[in-house]
């Protein structure tokens, strides 16, 4: 089974040359969708100057909203 790795996409860059997101990424329902159709989970993404892979830092879950849910 072939796996289409996400870090093979060319990246859009700022004026200073800092990579932002893979080219062709778009937003749908508050989530970013990669060119291969996979969703990027919400959080912060960093592309270190060292050239290594993207660093993903998930957002902190707010569990206070769970009291409003009925099971």
Burial of 33: CB neighbours in 10 Å, binned 0-12, 13-18, 19+: middle
Phi, psi of 19 (to 5 degrees): -65, 140
At 71, the pLDDT band (50, 70, 90 cuts) reads very low
pLDDT of residue 53: 61
Provide the phi-psi class of 51: left if phi over 0, else alpha when psi is between -120 and 50, else beta: left
- Classify 71 as helix, strand or coil: coil
Tokens 């959080």 label which residue?
43
pLDDT of residue 67: 55
Q: What is the pLDDT of residues 4-62, one digit of tens each?
A: 555 567 878 888 877 777 888 888 887 788 888 888 766 666 666 666 666 656 565 55
pTM higher than the cut 0.85: no
pLDDT of residue 19: 73
């Amino acid at each position: 089974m072939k796996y289409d790795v996400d870090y093979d996409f060319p990246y859009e860059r700022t004026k200073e040359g800092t990579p932002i997101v893979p080219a062709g990424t778009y937003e749908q329902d508050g989530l970013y969708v990669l060119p291969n159709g996979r969703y990027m989970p919400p959080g912060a993404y960093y592309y270190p100057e060292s050239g290594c892979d993207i660093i993903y830092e998930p957002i902190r879950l707010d569990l206070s909203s769970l009291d409003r849910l009925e099971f």
